[in-house]
Structure 1
Amino acid sequence: MKRPGKKAATDRSFVVALSRGLEVLRAFRPNDGLLGNQEIAARTNLPKPTVSRLTYTLTKLGYLTPVPRFEKYQLAPSALLLGYAALANLGVRHLSEPFREQLMRETGGAVAIGGRDRLSMIYFGQSRHGVVNVQLDVGSRIPIATTAMGRAYIWALPDDERAALMRDMREHYGSRWPKIRDGIERAGETVAKYGFTISAGEWQDDVHAVGVALKLNDGTGPYAVNCGAPAFRFTEERLRTDIGPRLVAMVRNIEAALGGLAPQTNQTNNQSNKELNKKPKPGGKVARVAEGIR
């Protein structure tokens, strides 16, 4: 966890104690099971005495359940209700489901929709076939910087927000940043030309995926959608010429449905395939924008 920055520390409306309590809840991850005060302190960078007071308070409020035998805690139903309430209120999750299911059947890949949490994207909707070896589900986190979903999200942001995110990632990744930044810049060029991003083994060696940003007119988001599969199923050529254009068409249809418009036809795929036959020029305006915030 990052400690509250100078801006937050001097913001009289910012409640530090509340932020620390929420950080304790955030320390619990899928498949974690039980966590003790020492583990929570390590994950949040908070002093152990502070963590002890916070876990005591959260227990009294019903957000944590103590397990005295192990001197540890687990999330209580009251905490789970917050997550379920958030999912229930994400209309795009429910509306996108039939579109995701259709693309999953057509391609054999796993299709997910997610939103940003700091330097990660969190899945809040997932459609996958039982034979697809992509072990991610609702609540899973993937990095923004190296995944197709994350990169699609990056290039959907306004310039100033993208610049701030790039600075945060540069600080986080340190010496690894130049290589990661190059991948993000390439993704920007791909988005500018084709409307989708590609991550072929850049996050996990054996996973290939494409990503497309989903933009709404209600002030929420942006979100992003991906379609991925093991590398032997989704070759880079298939990502470019088939899966990418299909995902773009699907996302545009979701946006149209949310806006009350008629879905697009297969013309989107035909136009995208024509564009894919053209060789992109190196560099370009999109890359230069990223270079200006290194």
Structure 2
Amino acid sequence: MKLLLVLALLCVSAPVASASTGPYAPVNRPGPRLSVPIADLQAAVKCTPSAHGSHREVALFVPGTGVAPAESFSWNWFRALDRIGHPYCSVALPGKSVGDVQVSAEYVVHAIRHARAISRGKIAVIGHSQGGVSSRFALRFWPDTRAMVADHIGLAAVNHGSDQNDALYPHGNGPAFALQLKRTAKFVEAANSRRETFPGISYTSLSTVHDQFVTPAGTTDLRGPGVANISLQDVCPGNTSDHITIGTSDALAHSLTMNAITRRGPADPADLPASICAQDTMPGADPDTVTADLAAFLKSATDTIAAAPVSAAEPALKPYVFARR
């Protein structure tokens, strides 16, 4: 059962049509007041001292399902950015993201606003797996955040639902997030309603053909202007990164992400040296401990998902999602 639940961890399938308007709110209608207590929102965001007053894009890390920021990013990304003095923040999502993704999105909204308020530049949102779609939901329904964000980087992001979730939970009775990330989920339809990308934000969506959860390959791709949809194997055919390592230890994914947040526009693989294909482990991740670090990551995600409360049905969409509230 744990394996089946892990298979539901941020896997993706055939995309829902992004042109759908349906009953959903206009893209520029002001977002609602956040329902989560401000003390909880504030406690969830952590930033480096260098983020305060920074002119560079502050990287905001949004973790995937079942893990806290420290479990996902402290042994790799945080170390890498500390070494070069690049500012960053992270946001811890409630219950490690196994509940209602709409609530997680409120934490991301606050984190974007906070990171922008303390810095002098715009924000680069970096979301792994579920973190890639919860942050996009925040941008969709809280339009004030868009002017604060320069880049959105999805690392195997769950953008269009999951065939595996549809198969595992055809009648509900699963973790809330899994029901919301089914291919047929109303949450997915709402997140992609009217448009998937917004002017002024550069989108980089990274995928891997070896992704064991996001299937088939390439279904992370976004539709719209300002997007670079990049398969790691199109850059380095021999790259073996999977769903977990693309967001935690892969050298190519790291290089493309850093390229995106340090240049104008989305990532451009042509900027990278050919030698990147010979590198396995990203800066910050220790080659001697990376196997154990990845195992600890996966155990945390597995245990958290296995212990998640069971929902009988997908959580209802919030009133602000609709054109008529």
TM-score, normalised to structure 1, is: 0.32
Larger RCO of the pair (alpha carbons < 8 Å, separation 6+): 2
TM-score, normalised to structure 2, is: 0.30
Greater fraction strand: 1
